[in-house]
Structure 1
Amino acid sequence: MTNTTALWLFDLDNTLHDASHAIFPAIHDNMNAFMARTLGRDGVNADAATVDATRETYWRRYGATLLGLVKHHQVRPEDFLREAHHFDDLLSMIRAERGLINLLKRLPGRKILLTNAPHRYSSDVMRHLRLQRHFGKHISIESMHVHRQLRPKPSRHMLRQLIARERVAAGRCILVEDTIATLKAAKWVGMRTAWVTQYLGDNRDVIKRPGYVDVKVKSVRKLARNLHRLR
């Protein structure tokens, strides 16, 4: 039987908190160091230009750098995720606006955290923000497999599988996300979409709302007043 209750799918980084402040720069550096070792030869690390070009190529081709590293360099996902998300003091790096708990209470329906981040990191962030109890499920990148293949966001196959597993009509799902590619994939499978722009940088206010975005909000705290546009 199909569940008719609304299902909210929330991204984590740059949606529920400001990852661009300190966390993303640290991940960027960690990722570059890992890739330099992986792409290097004869014990010599690859240079920065090679790393940047490879990361950009894999991001464009596969939607996630990790998928390219797995496919072409036999990297184990758990090794990459552990290295990329290593922080000396994660809690001091977290920045988030107030009022998130009240916002979640005001949104009718079930809520799932859907993040391309690893489980340990995302759990630590959610506990620090005191949000974990407001989500019925926590789906991290380790759980995003389709036919035994890793398929993180923006995979349409993964999103369709999620809809089927939750026994909910696509039109009853609302994806809240900062990444355009994932919003586009969600709309393609029939979901409603909310684009959070607060942490996108200086040009966030001039970016036009694409047709596959139902609601564009600066902050997730603005979602409640836009419920009529997400039904």
Structure 2
Amino acid sequence: MSAQSPRSIKRRVSKRGAPVWLFDLDNTLHHASHEIFPAINRGMTQYIIDRLGVDIDEANRLRTGYTQRYGATLLGLIRHHQIDASEFLHLVHTFTDLSSMVRAERGLARLLNRLPGRKIVLTNGPSVYAHAVLAELGIARLFERVIAIEDMQVRGMWRAKPDAGMLRRAMHRADVRLSDAILVEDTRGHLKRYKRMGIRTVWI
């Protein structure tokens, strides 16, 4: 995580209700850019090549373009190419050597444990992957729930961060008032979008 201490984070949180910390997963709770993100990107690109019959340059263009436009490559592939979402998520987020790929700051569990209030993981990644990473980090017990991309569907339509309607529904299901939520995230665009909804934010 960043150099911010629990004490400095606490000072930024005004007294409202009990805080509910919404932690992004990748590049927030662990250093996904070290090995995991490159592996996921390779997997997504290969999936697009295999399923759509395009070359590597076009596959990379679609992968990055859909992420920028929709918040997740998956959403663009569903909307424009009707791919099997479950198959895609499984193929690109399954690693036989996950334990050797995970990197995180020392003292992460202690830092999280010192933060007051409820803690929830909010990730555009799939549920099985998120739970596996949390287990490798040894912090799964500190979170009351994981809200993964499978949980972000609205009226049968797939959604992802930074979709506003999705977050409102997810917070309602988790019994979280937006005014009590604090989003800890590495993606500035997500933070800016959700700050306008009254959620407090911490940039990692």
TM range (shorter): 0.7 to 0.9
* 2:119 aligned counterpart, secondary structure: strand
Question: What pairs with 1:5-16 in structure 2 (closer than 5 Å)?
Answer: 5-16=18-29
Measured in 1, the distance between the counterparts of 2:101 and 2:141 equals: 22
Q: AA paired with 1:9?
A: L
Measured in 2, the distance between the counterparts of 1:64 and 1:181 equals: 13
User: Is residue 2:38 matched to residue 1:25?
Assistant: yes
User: Is residue 2:75 matched to residue 1:67?
Assistant: yes
CA-CA distance at 1:11 after TM superposition: 0.7
Percent of aligned pairs sharing the same letter: 50
Q: Contact 1:160/1:189 (CA < 8 Å) preserved in 2?
A: no
The one of 34, 52, 64 aligned to 1:39: 52
Measured in 2, the distance between the counterparts of 1:127 and 1:88 equals: 14
User: Is residue 2:185 matched to residue 1:172?
Assistant: no
Alignment correspondent of 2:10: none
Q: Number of aligned pairs? A: 189
* 1:176 aligned counterpart, secondary structure: strand
User: Is residue 2:121 matched to residue 1:121?
Assistant: no
User: Is residue 2:150 matched to residue 1:142?
Assistant: yes
Question: What pairs with 1:199-218 in structure 2 (closer than 5 Å)?
Answer: none
* 1:8 aligned counterpart, secondary structure: strand
CA-CA distance at 1:66 after TM superposition: 0.6
CA-CA distance at 1:26 after TM superposition: 0.7
Deviations 1:169-190 (A, max 9, x none): 3121000011122212211221
Measured in 2, the distance between the counterparts of 1:138 and 1:181 equals: 21
Question: What pairs with 1:86-101 in structure 2 (closer than 5 Å)?
Answer: 86-101=94-109
User: Is residue 2:88 matched to residue 1:80?
Assistant: yes
CA-CA distance at 1:158 after TM superposition: 1.0
Q: Contact 1:38/1:73 (CA < 8 Å) preserved in 2?
A: no
Measured in 1, the distance between the counterparts of 2:135 and 2:61 equals: 36
TM-score (normalised: structure 2): 0.88
CA-CA distance at 1:88 after TM superposition: 2.9
Large movers: runs of 4+ above 6 Å:
none
Long gaps (5+) in structure 1: 41-45, 197-231
Question: What pairs with 1:186-225 in structure 2 (closer than 5 Å)?
Answer: 186-196=194-204
Q: Which has the larger radius of gyration?
A: 1
Measured in 1, the distance between the counterparts of 2:134 and 2:183 equals: 18
CA-CA distance at 1:136 after TM superposition: 0.9
Change (3 A) 1:123 1:166: closer
CA-CA distance at 1:6 after TM superposition: 1.0
Q: Contact 2:72/2:124 (CA < 8 Å) preserved in 1?
A: no
Long gaps (5+) in structure 2: 1-15
Higher helix residue share: 2
